[in-house]
């Protein structure tokens, strides 16, 4: 995790994941459980780690689909933690 200086300023991003460095960057405001889990999902997919949600999807998803899956993953984990 690095400081927010490497987070793109466009679209008011609060966090981003750099696949080529396997590094997630967060702004102070963006350091939330949901954002960390979202970027963790990108890391799981990029590294090809075995996971129920990411198994077999590396290289097969469009960026839009990967973003949707990452969003669903973070929401489901946070929802399970609250219950």
Question: CA angle at residue 10 from 76 to 79, to 5 degrees?
Answer: 10
pLDDT at 20 > cutoff 70: yes
How many angstroms separate the first and last alpha carbons of the chain? 28
pLDDT at position 63 is 81
Q: What is the pLDDT of residues 21-79, one digit of tens each?
A: 778 888 888 888 998 999 888 888 877 755 545 444 545 677 888 889 999 999 999 99
Domain boundaries, the chain: 4-82
Considering only residues 13 and 2, tell me which one the structure prediction assigns the higher pLDDT.
Answer: 13
pTM of the model: 0.70
- Cα four-point dihedral sign 1, 26, 21, 19: positive
């Amino acid at each position: 995790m690095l400081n927010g200086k490497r987070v793109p300023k466009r679209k008011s991003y609060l966090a981003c994941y750099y696949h080529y460095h396997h590094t997630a960057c967060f702004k102070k405001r963006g350091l939330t459980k949901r954002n960390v889990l979202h970027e963790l999902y990108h890391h799981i997919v990029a590294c090809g780690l075995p996971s129920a949600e990411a198994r077999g999807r590396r290289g097969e998803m469009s960026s839009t689909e990967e973003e949707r899956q990452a969003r669903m993953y973070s929401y489901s984990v946070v929802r399970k933690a609250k219950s």
